[in-house]
Structure 1
Amino acid sequence: MKIKFKKSALAAMAVILCTVTFSASKVAAQETLKKGDKAPDFSLKDQDGKDFQLADHLGKQKVVIFFYPKDESAVCTKEACAFRDAYAKYNDANALVIGINGGTVESHKAFQTKEHLPFQLLSDPGNKVLQMFGVKEQAFGEMKVSGRETFVIGKDGKIVYSFRDFMKGDEHSKQVLTYLSSK
């Protein structure tokens, strides 16, 4: 009788432990921010090593943040260049454009210089800000890369629009401009 009780108690403890562990991992995974959510404040270094604080720009203009996986990759370059080519339209819409990924300040400076990018590129070591926004990683077999998603933050600090398409980097700027021109 004692042996059955011990086995039952151990089994129950194992179930409880697994449930708590599974629930904790679900809580730790940030949901992707959506329209109406408040954008988290953050501070990151730009391509020149200067601090960029999101709060410094809210209330003054809309902020367009595009998260991209890697400087100099083919799809990411198309994405960044699409934002570059439409930069005057973003200025006309009173929208500040910034790009963010886990690359270094130095890699961002080289990328910005090579592609003549007129906006700031922010270095997010460990993808902490990417995670705060809930941008999901993409799996390619065994390899995972950071996600590609663009957010428009209104002057009030809330998300007003977002777009996600991993393989169509150049589509991000088009979609954001379509949104901005409709407002």
Structure 2
Amino acid sequence: MSANLFQLPMDLPVPVDDGAAAHLEQVLLPCISLPSTDGTTVNLAAMEGQWVIYVYPMTGRPGLPLPDGWDAIPGARGCTPQSCGFRDHYKELKQLRSGVFGLSTQTSEYQREARDRLHLPFQLLSDSLLQLKHSLHLPTFTAAGMELFKRMTLIVQQGRIKKVFYPVFPPDRNADDVLAWLRTDSQPDVTGDAPLAVRP
């Protein structure tokens, strides 16, 4: 029987801060181009303005079971509610001059199904080669033979990581936490009404 992807179990284990993201603040994004669900590529180092990049393990699909033991892995469950949170707060994020990307190790084809089914107004980036694991030392875990990113959210301003949310829990409140931080933090030195991404 497949799980209800929109509802989080009450007894999910809470992830602990293992220090695996402590090195990321103030780090510049690497010159890596990742495929996007709109068919373009995004050069992370060339991103202008302010962006929220939420890094997640994987979205489930209706009718398909999640990997065995998925709910018992701290921080694994909740990619669909997290994505829906950023969808529901997308207009507020745009008002704060912030763009949004989701990022995972799934292929763009796999991600496109989730984007369309969940009616996400933003794109998802595919790092199926785990380039960010090697360039930024992003933490990963293994489930069902797949190496997946641990859940974290990055606030990027002019290509530099300004803020890291790690661990992220509960995932369905991540967008609210990001908005709260953006509203209290001093606004970045960016121009224009919307963020820009340079796509080679």
TM-score (norm 2): 0.66
Aligned to 2:128: 125
Aligned to 1:41: 31
TM-score (norm 1): 0.72
User: Gaps (5+ residues) in structure 2?
Assistant: 1-19, 62-76, 186-200
Aligned to 1:176: 178
Give the alignment's Cα RMSD to 1 decimal: 2.5
Aligned to 1:71: 59
Shift in CA distance, 92/162, structure 1 to aligned 2, threshold 3 Å = same
- Deviation of 1:179 after TM superposition, in Å, equals 1.1
Aligned to 1:159: 161
Kept in 2, the 8 Å contact 1:135–1:149? The answer is no
Aligned to 1:96: 99
User: Gaps (5+ residues) in structure 1?
Assistant: 1-29
Aligned to 1:7: none
Larger mean CA deviation between 44-53 and 162-171 belongs to 162-171
Secondary structure of residue in 1 paired with 2:177: helix
- Kindly provide the amino acid, as one letter, of the partner of residue 64 in structure 1: V
Structure 1 residues 34-60: Cα deviation after superposition (integer angstroms, max 9, x where no partner)? 3222222321111132112224432xx
- Structure scoring higher RCO (CA < 8 A, sep ≥ 6) equals 2
Decide which structure has greater helix share.
1
- Deviation of 1:128 after TM superposition, in Å, equals 1.2
Kept in 2, the 8 Å contact 1:34–1:162? The answer is yes
Percentage identity across paired residues of the two chains: 27
